[in-house]
Structure 1
Amino acid sequence: MTDVIQATKRDSTGTAATRRLRRAGNVPAVLYGHGEANEHLAIPQSQVKGLLRHHSKMIKLTGAVEETALVSEMQWDPLGIEVIHMDLIRVNLKEKVELTVSVELHGEAAGTREGGILLENLREVEVRCSAGAIPESLILDVNELHLGENATASQLQLPEGVELLTDGDAVLAHVEAPRAQQDEEGTEVQVGAEPEVISKGGGDAEDDA
Structure 2
Amino acid sequence: MTDVIQATKRDSTGTAATTRLRREGNVPAVLYGHGEANEHLAISAVQVKGLLRHHSKTVTLTGDVNETALVSDMQWDPLGIEVLHLDLIRVNLQEKVEVTVAIETHGEAAGTREGGIFLENLREVDVRCSAGSIPESLVLDVNDLHLGDQATAADLQLPEGVELVTDPETVIAHVEAPRSEAAVEEEDAIGSEPEVISKGGGEEEDEA
Runs of 4+ in 1 over 3 A off after TM superposition: none
Aligned to 1:160: 160
Deviation string, structure 1 residues 175-199 (Cα, Å, up to 9, x no partner): 111221124xxxx95xx9xx98x9x
C-alpha displacement of 1:166: 0.4
Task: Report % sequence identity.
Answer: 78
Aligned to 1:147: 147
2:60 & 2:119 partners in 1: Cα distance?
36
Deviation string, structure 1 residues 4-62 (Cα, Å, up to 9, x no partner): 11111112111000000000010000000111110000011111111111111011111
Q: Does 1:179 align with 2:182?
A: no
2:124 & 2:65 partners in 1: Cα distance?
31
SS of match in other structure, 2:178: coil
C-alpha displacement of 1:174: 0.5
1:181 & 1:55 partners in 2: Cα distance?
42
Aligned to 1:126: 126
1:72 & 1:165 partners in 2: Cα distance?
17
Aligned to 1:109: 109
Aligned to 2:22: 22
2:71 & 2:120 partners in 1: Cα distance?
25
The amino acid that maps onto 2:132 is: G
Structure (1/2) with the larger helix percentage: 2
2:104 & 2:164 partners in 1: Cα distance?
15
Which has the larger Rg? 2
Aligned to 1:88: 88
Deviation string, structure 1 residues 52-74 (Cα, Å, up to 9, x no partner): 11111011111111111000000
C-alpha displacement of 1:134: 0.4
Matches within 5 A, 1:70-85: 70-85=70-85
Deviation string, structure 1 residues 108-145 (Cα, Å, up to 9, x no partner): 10001111111111111011000011000000000000
SS of match in other structure, 1:167: coil
Q: Does 1:4 align with 2:4?
A: yes
1:117 & 1:62 partners in 2: Cα distance?
48
**Structure 1: gaps of 5 or more residues:** 199-209
RMSD across aligned positions (CA): 1.8
1:14 & 1:107 partners in 2: Cα distance?
50
SS of match in other structure, 1:182: helix
Aligned to 1:204: none
Aligned to 1:201: none
Deviation string, structure 1 residues 129-182 (Cα, Å, up to 9, x no partner): 000110000000000000111000001100000000100000000111122112
Aligned to 2:97: 97
TM-score normalised over the length of structure 1:
0.87
Aligned to 2:63: 63
1:127 & 1:10 partners in 2: Cα distance?
33
TM-score normalised over the length of structure 2:
0.88
Number of matched pairs: 191
